[in-house]
Structure 1
Amino acid sequence: MRKTLALLLLPFLATPALADPIPTFHSPEALLDGVYGQIEASLDWENYDWESSFSEHEAFSARLTSLLEEANEKFYAAGDEIGALDFSVFSYSQDPGGMEFTFSDAKTKGDRSIITVDIALEGKAWHSLTFFLVDEGAAGWKVDDVLFPPFEEDAGEPWKLSEYLADPDLP
């Protein structure tokens, strides 16, 4: 019963209204360490401090946040209550349980950086995500885009989050 109640309350506890603001990250690696550290810690949901966490979407750049807000407006107008993203862009899933995350070294030039995150599921290679990050000055480093593998193995092309948000598939 306690687990069921906790699972029902989980979405409400992780909402931005109750969560702390995202810390300022002064390097691309620190941003992804912070996000993935939070994801891994949240898997121990009984002991995780949801109120001190930040929303993953706060890790988005101003540009990506604007695209997400515009896409969400379209979904909400069409009657969808979830919005444009029904998965975590950091795990490419709705449930990161059983996943391990390994980062490549950041390739940084000026205020831009690229980092690849390899995801293993239950010890087996699963997906690689490429994060395009931008230094937004006082706000620190933020995710400006993500390159995802095709939805289905061996089908389709990789796709960018920004392109999807600019022209989302409405429900």
Structure 2
Amino acid sequence: MVFRIDREDPATPEVIALLEDGDAYGASLYPAESNHFLPLDALRADNVHFVVARDEQNAAVGTGAIALADDGAEAWAELKRMWVVPEARGKGLSKAILGDLEVRARGAGFALLRLETGIANHEALALYERTGFIRRGPFGDYREDPLSVFMEKRLD
């Protein structure tokens, strides 16, 4: 299966449907206070690079984003809104989206990629560990949450 990954506006009906599927999945696993989704308007901000993966029929089958952050002491890109439709899983698409976002972070001058995910997201946790992420404590505005896993990866 061949995929194309490009930066897109998330405010299209097809992409909104993917984001809503990801939201519903997160809501099925965690209470609202443990879900940290960037809302649609935030995904369109200047500091966010939002990408969509499309299949050979040009159907949107995956999403991902990085939000560029700088708290004055340290700068990082945060991985957000990673989602692949169930039918496209197991084909390396999540890894390809992640790789694309790492290139975008480096290209924007960021050498550190961080993320928050949930403890029940086993496939995501396995992907992040396989691709060099290590566990760490909360960062930015996050607080300790027994349902959250915080990770980071140096991109140098």
Instruction: Specify if TM > 0.5.
Output: no
Q: TM-score, normalised by structure 2?
A: 0.30
Greater strand fraction, Structure 1 or Structure 2: 2
Q: TM-score, normalised by structure 1?
A: 0.28
Structure with greater Cα Rg: 1
